[in-house]
Amino acid sequence: MNIQKLRKRIDALDARLVKLLNERTQVAGEIGKVKRRLGEEVYAPEREEDVLKRVTTSNRGPLSVRSLRAIWREVMSASLALQKNVMISVFGTRGSFTDSAARQKFGGSVTYKYQPTFTNVFREVAKGRADCGVVPVEDSTDGVTTHVCDLLMNSDLKICGQILLPVTGSLTPSQIVARFFVIGRKSAAPVGNDFTSVIFCCANRVGALENSLAAFRKHGVNLINIESRPFKDKPLAAFFFADLQGHTDDASVQKALTELKRHSTLVKPVGSYPNQNG
């Protein structure tokens, strides 16, 4: 078959793709109407993960999973934008690492508004002027930032997603991976492969931390990460930021958190979200 005939096949396939994509987008628009009628958030991270998982699982090539995820990210971004003018509040400036992470997560069809401080990002989401916020949380060498922890501790907002972004540059070791949180007005619904982040402060008595950690082991909850961070206004006191495997709706996680409260002066789950790198 010569190149002209092959190109005609490509043209025919493109026409079919355009038709199917528009049909899909029309259905997404109908879903948006139902969400508005029910007062639901347009962005549903658990549904996003379900779609990406289903699409990539059915892939038989030659497209790579990475390419397919990138394509579907833009398809879903266009669908979101049709449902409403989705606003994402982003820390920093256009072209920053946080901007790159946000666009990797939400695609090119939604609207981005850049904020000079973490506090501004949280405020925009809390006031309803943004649907979600994106903030840098950690890299693989420095850990979770205290400022983000403070805001999560003193806010009703929740982590509803995470983004992992390899960071490269002349001054940056190639193995560093930066982590970003997607902040929303509620956690994501469970997908069966979830993370939960929790902030807690141990009681001031011997063995309190040991007993706190034992609560997770006792109820079969895998502790992925735990870090100590200072209180902003109490330099000699500290709290812990922990990532758990599971969702706050899971019975095992609920039991572990209930027991954790017996050994702590503060326990605050700050979000459950799909375990994926967005």
Dump pLDDT digits (tens) for 156-171. 999 999 999 887 655 5
Q: Which domains does the chain have, with CATH numbers?
A: 3-83 (1.20.59.10), 87-184 (3.40.190.10), 194-274 (3.30.70.260)
Taking only the tens place, the pLDDT of each residue in 25-75 is: 999 989 988 988 888 888 888 888 888 889 988 999 899 998 998 999 999
Q: Where are the alpha helices (DSSP H) in 154-273?
A: 208-218, 251-262
Query: Residue 77: phi, psi to the nearest 5?
Result: -65, -45
0.75 cut: is pTM over it?
yes
Structure confidence at residue 20 (pLDDT):
95
CA dist 199 to 51, 150, 195, 221, 260, Å? 30, 10, 14, 16, 11
Structure confidence at residue 183 (pLDDT):
97
Structure confidence at residue 158 (pLDDT):
97
Q: Which two tokens stand for residue 23?
A: 């049909």
